[in-house]
Amino acid sequence: MVQPNPAHPGSLLLQGISEMVTNDAAAGPGVLGIIPKAAVIIQASHIAWVGPAASAPAADTAIDLQGRAVLPGWVDSNTHLVFAQDQVDDFTARASGGPVTGNGLQAMVDATRAADDPDLLTVARWHRGEMLTGGTTCAETTTGYGLTVRDEARLAATAKAAGFDEITFHSASAVPLEYAKDPDGYLDLVC
C-alpha cells in the first residue's frame, strides 16, 4: 500500500469503518477484499492509504465514520439526464397497461428546446447530485432531447458543466417533427 506523502499536507483519515470493500483480493479475505475495522487516508484528492485502522499512519485531519461500511463508488455508464420535461405520464400508462395519450418523447424535445441554459443546468446538476448522494461517483449521460445541432451541442455543454464524466451524442432516437417528411435528411444531419 502507498504511504501518505508528507510533502503534500492536507491528509484526511477516515476511521471508524466497520468494514471496507476494496475489490482487491490481496487486501482482505475473499474476492471483495473486505477489511474489517478499516481506515482510509485521502491526500490531494486521492486515496493514499487503505488498511486496518490499527495500522493507519498519522494524518492532518480525522473523521470518525461511526461504524459505517465503505464501498467503492458505483459507475453508471448509460443515463439520459439532461432534459426539461420527463415522460412520466407515458411511462406510467405503459407500465399499467393503459393507453398512452401523448407523444412523451416529442413533449420532452419541445420542452428541452424551449428551456433556457440555466434551467437545463439546474436540472442536470440536481440529477448528478442525486447520483453522487446514492454512491455513483462516475457517470455518463447522453444528449438526445434537442434533435438539432444547436440543441444537442447545448445539452452536451450542459452535461459537462453539470459534472458528468462522459457525454454521448444520442440524437438518433427519434425523427423530429421538422423532418417527419424527410427522415433520410435527418439521418444525414445526424451523420
If you classify domain 12-72 with CATH, what class do you get? Answer: mainly beta
Per residue in 117-136, pLDDT (tens digit) is 999 999 999 999 999 998 99
Q: Which residue has the higher pLDDT, 24 or 167?
A: 167
Provide the total of helices (H) and of strands (E) in the chain, helices listed first: 5, 7
Rounded CA gap, 138 and 136, in Å? 6
- Averaged pLDDT for residues 62-72: 93
184 burial (CB, 10 Å; 0-12 / 13-18 / 19+) is: exposed
Q: Where are the domains positioned within the chain?
A: 12-72, 76-190
109 three-state secondary structure? helix
- Please say if the pLDDT value at position 66 is more than 90: yes
d(CA 129, CA 167): 16
Q: Which fold has domain 76-190?
A: TIM Barrel (3.20.20)
